[in-house]
Amino acid sequence: MDPVNVLEFEALARECIDRHAFDFIAGGSDDEVTLGTNRTAYERIVFRPRVLVDVSAVDTSTEILGRRIALPILLAPTAFQTMVHPDGELATARAAAEAGTVMVVSTLASCTVEEIGAAAAGPKWFQLYCYKEKRVTEELVRRAETAGYEAICLTVDVPRLGRREQDFRNVFALPPGILPKNFEGTADLAKVSPAEHGSIVAAYVAGLLDDGLTWDDVAWLKSITSLPVWVKGILTPEDATLSADAGVDGIIVSNHGGRQLDGSPATIDVLPEIREAVGEGIPLLVDGGIRRGTDVVKALALGARGVLIGRPYLWGLAVGGQSGVARVLEMLRVEIELAMALCGCPTVGDVTRRHVDLRR
Ligand SMILES: Cc1cc2nc3c(=O)[nH]c(=O)nc-3n(C[C@H](O)[C@H](O)[C@H](O)COP(=O)(O)O)c2cc1C
């Protein structure tokens, strides 16, 4: 049966891919409490719809750092997409370009920065993990710049990998031929052993990524690139203020889709206090648990310029490659348009804090 909403893609994806790969995508850390509250928190937010507004034309486009995108959804960085579909990141890049939005490409992509850059002309940002060896990190930034990426998105919530117990149970290893393609022969998987850490990804992070990062490294990153720098993984007003002080260009409110510190709050719950702390000067994006157009409109009302989705487009990729990702994006676009119309908001800019209420 054809899926009628994004959640129905999950069940289809489960049938299309290997169980270990499905678990790697689905899983959260520890008891998966944060994974769950990322979703349920949206249920406590209710709309205050306004009526008798002319919504004969609804425009879902929005502007982020001077770039207009067709809908307020970006594709979050996710690792190893060829595990899900042979076309992997190349299919995702093409679907994002077709939908008129940004793909954020993971450091741990299973195609190279250059291959993904050349796959489609749409806007791309590069998600950066910092390596213990600084020259490895700097080299990645240079390659992203040369390949035409428009921003660097520094992930700051992975000094170590959260305990994803589904992967431990599976002793998760990447299938043959799937690897972090940016590092063939350098920071590659041959350097680490899953046996010590329960999963190959945990071993990789422990072995190669820098767990000594501080705000000085954000300043260092700003100093080595002229691209806009976003920080991804902010959950408190304190760190949002420090991000602003460090001169970042944008903040992504994220708990890594419930995959890092379990017991972290739902991202939508902390968005308002972060918005208040940094004011209107810095654009905010939020991710985690967004599965419906109404979720997106709630996030816009609470101060986000846009959102990112992770798992939903991976389900689409698993089910149908490029066209599967395109279908997921189109479903969400249609839902956003409807929610905006029913809220009395013809444009994204019309969605305000007055359009929602919090029911605790
Ligand atoms: C399979 C998978 C791989 C991910 N890989 C990365 C990554 O390489 N870098 C990163 O910053 N975040 C990564 N994330 C987190 C996503 O960027 C995003 O924060 C999260 O998926 C959003 O939640 P959602 O899946 O509920 O939409 C990954 C998430 C998943 C599910």
Cα within 13 Å of Cα(288), Cβ side: 36
Q: From the candidates 20, 197, 256, 355, which is the catalytic residue?
A: 256
| CA 48 to ligand 1 centroid distance, Å | 31
Pocket of ligand 1 contains residue 310 by CB under 6 Å: yes
Residue type, 126: F
* Pairing mode, strands 45-47 and 356-358: antiparallel
Nearest CA residue ID for atom 6, ligand 1: 78
Known catalytic membership, residue 20: no
How far is 200 from 83, CA to CA, in rounded Å?
Answer: 14
CATH number of 6-352: 3.20.20.70
CB of 295 within 6 A of ligand 1: the answer is no
Instruction: Estimate the crossing angle of helix 6-16 against helix 19-26, to 10 degrees.
Output: 150
**Strand 62-64 relative to strand 67-69, pairing:** antiparallel
Res 202: pLDDT: 87
Q: Quickly count: other Cβ atoms within 10 Å of residue 20's Cβ.
A: 18
Q: Distance from the CA of 284 to the center of ligand 1, in angstroms?
A: 17
Which amino acid is it at 37?
Answer: T
Confirm or reject: Cβ of 180 under 6 Å from ligand 1.
no
Q: How much is the pTM?
A: 0.97
Instruction: For ligand 1, atom 19, name the residue with the nearest CA.
Output: 256
What gap in Å lies between CA 249 and CA 61, rounded to an integer?
20
223's CB contacts (< 8 A; 6+ apart) are none
Whether ligand 1 lies within 6 angstroms of the CB of 77 is answered as: yes
Query: Is the CB of 28 inside a 6 Å radius of any atom of ligand 1?
Result: no
- Number of helices and strands (H, E) in the chain? 14, 12
**pLDDT per position in the chain (360 positions), as tens?**
799 999 999 999 999 999 999 999 999 999 999 999 999 999 999 999 999 999 999 999 999 999 999 999 999 999 999 999 999 999 999 999 999 999 999 999 999 999 999 999 999 999 999 999 999 999 999 999 999 999 999 999 999 999 999 999 998 888 988 999 998 776 666 667 766 777 888 888 888 999 999 999 999 999 999 999 999 999 999 999 999 999 999 999 999 999 999 999 999 999 999 999 999 999 999 999 999 999 999 999 999 999 999 999 999 999 999 999 999 999 999 999 999 999 999 999 999 999 999 886
In this structure, the residue with its CA closest to atom 28 of ligand 1 is 78
Among residues 282, 286, 312, 313, the alpha carbon closest in space to that of 299 is found at 286
Ligand 1 atom closest to the CA of 289, numbered from 1: 26
